[in-house]
Structure 1
Amino acid sequence: MKKFLVPALIGAAFAMPAGAAAQQLPSTAIGVVDINQIQTTCTACVTARQQLQTQQQQLVQLRQSLQTPLTTEENAIQAEAQRLGDAARTNQALQQRVTTLQQNAANANRQLAQQEQIVQRNAAYVLQQINTQLSPAIDAVMARRGATVVMDASQLLKHNPAIDITADVLADLNARLTTIATVAPAPQQQPAQQQQPQGR
């Protein structure tokens, strides 16, 4: 019976219905979207960017307000140390001023780092809100324009303006995204791990 196995398989292969063959891929219709342009020019995006710029300016002002008194005190300490000469090393009052300056500088750096993290978190939150609505906006325009593939313009060397759907996506996004919050929710703290009861 084994000598009939190969011919039987060959016959079965030729007997396969036509539908079982690989299906033809549909013709490709490419659309191009300038993601960076949309993220920076949508109506709500412009307002959000202005508010983020204000936060950045406030951060710069905070850095200056923290740095100015530290610099003033540092210069005063250096001047006093030069006046005292070798005695500066054993001058307790001067050494206390140095210690206080170091503590104030550490506190200032910590405060500034916290504010920088807040501003960075706010910027990431703004981008998250934009991208959340950008994806369905692209899907909607793809369906209307019959596109099967959408590519970011920044990844292309050149493209025909006829396949650029940026304006359509921008209009759809403006309808979906009317406001953007520029203050991110406070990060959730990890719950404290419960201690496992010790076995007897």
Structure 2
Amino acid sequence: MKNILKPALAAGIAIASLSAPLAIAPAAAQSAPTIGIVNLRAIVVNSAAYSTAEEQRQTTYKAQIDQANARRTAIQQQLQPLVQKLQTDSQSGNVDQAALQQQAAQIQQIQEAGQRELQQILAPVIRSQAYVEEQINDQLQPALQAAAQKKGVSLVLTPDTVVYADNSYNINQAVLDELNTLLPSAQIVPPEGWVPREVREQQAQQQAAQAAQAPAQQQPAAPAVSGR
């Protein structure tokens, strides 16, 4: 690993004697950073706050979840005979392509409308999930830093950037322990008016852009200079 991260600095090194190649080893030997590998998403979903919130959400939002499940079943029952008819008609000897396209369009329309309806029913549940994950993500970086410091890790990588590594480099559990200490549980019901961070950032950017444009719009136009 040292040779991969710290290539030998051959340029500029003069070898005095070929009979004593080990004489240059101390100059080339340098301390490499201690490496840790973490799967951040796995840490989030395995955290105590996330797991507890998932359980609590089934009770807190039971009405919405039950309504969505019932509506999903109804939509599937509505679609089933239409899909079967489309399959049967498409396999018949006398295929009417226009009719098949009309049937397929009807099925797609029902599916899309049903998806929008389900998203509307489950909007409070989705909002709760985003709220919980934001609370966890707020503590994820401090947990990572604390775990790295305790283990003496100076370089942290994610699994998708690593081709191979021994399991001893894995610090998932250490980060998870720190996260559970910092955030043992999370609030699952967002406060009134709460929106996800990315939405807040977009709103802030829009407000900043509008504020920057306002002074320019309020400045009086320069008086015209009349020629003589």
Could you say which TM-score interval applies, normalised by the shorter chain?
Answer: 0.5 to 0.7
Contact 2:147 2:174 (8 Å CA) reproduced: yes
Q: 1:36 to 1:65 in 2, by over 3 A?
A: closer
Q: CA deviation at 1:123?
A: 0.7
TM (norm. structure 2) is 0.46
Match of 1:135 among 112, 128, 141: 141
Contact 1:35 1:153 (8 Å CA) reproduced: no
TM (norm. structure 1) is 0.52
Written as runs of structure 1 = structure 2, the 5 A alignment for 1:157-196 is 157-187=163-193
Written as runs of structure 1 = structure 2, the 5 A alignment for 1:36-47 is 36-47=41-52
Where structure 2 has 5 or more consecutive residues not aligned to the other structure, the ranges are 1-29, 76-113, 196-202, 204-228
1:6-34 superposed Cα distances (whole Å, 9 cap, x missing partner): xxxxxxxxxxxxxxxxxxx9732221112
Match of 1:149? 155
Residues in 2 aligned to 1:43 and 1:188: alpha-carbon distance in whole angstroms: 23
Contact 1:30 1:148 (8 Å CA) reproduced: yes
One-letter amino acid matched to 1:164: N
Q: 1:176 to 1:112 in 2, by over 3 A?
A: same
Contact 1:30 1:151 (8 Å CA) reproduced: yes
Find the residue that maps to 2:37 and give its secondary structure: strand
1:113-160 superposed Cα distances (whole Å, 9 cap, x missing partner): 544222211111111111111110110111122212212235534321
Residues in 2 aligned to 1:166 and 1:135: alpha-carbon distance in whole angstroms: 13
Contact 1:137 1:172 (8 Å CA) reproduced: yes
Residues in 2 aligned to 1:67 and 1:146: alpha-carbon distance in whole angstroms: 51
Contact 2:68 2:122 (8 Å CA) reproduced: no
Higher Rg of the two aligned structures: 1
Q: Taking every aligned residue pair, what percent have the same amino acid on both sides?
A: 29
One-letter amino acid matched to 1:140: A
Q: 1:137 to 1:125 in 2, by over 3 A?
A: same
Contact 2:37 2:158 (8 Å CA) reproduced: yes
The number of aligned residues is: 133
Q: CA deviation at 1:161?
A: 0.8
Residues in 1 aligned to 2:48 and 2:65: alpha-carbon distance in whole angstroms: 26
Residues in 2 aligned to 1:34 and 1:50: alpha-carbon distance in whole angstroms: 23
Find the residue that maps to 2:122 and give its secondary structure: helix
Contact 1:55 1:119 (8 Å CA) reproduced: no
Aligned: 1:49 with 2:46: no
Q: More relative contact order in 1 or in 2 (CA 8 Å, sep 6+)?
A: 1
Find the residue that maps to 2:185 and give its secondary structure: coil
Contact 2:65 2:122 (8 Å CA) reproduced: no
Written as runs of structure 1 = structure 2, the 5 A alignment for 1:97-108 is none
Residues in 2 aligned to 1:133 and 1:67: alpha-carbon distance in whole angstroms: 36
Where structure 1 has 5 or more consecutive residues not aligned to the other structure, the ranges are 1-24, 71-107, 191-200
Q: CA deviation at 1:64?
A: 5.5
Superposition CA RMSD, Å: 3.8
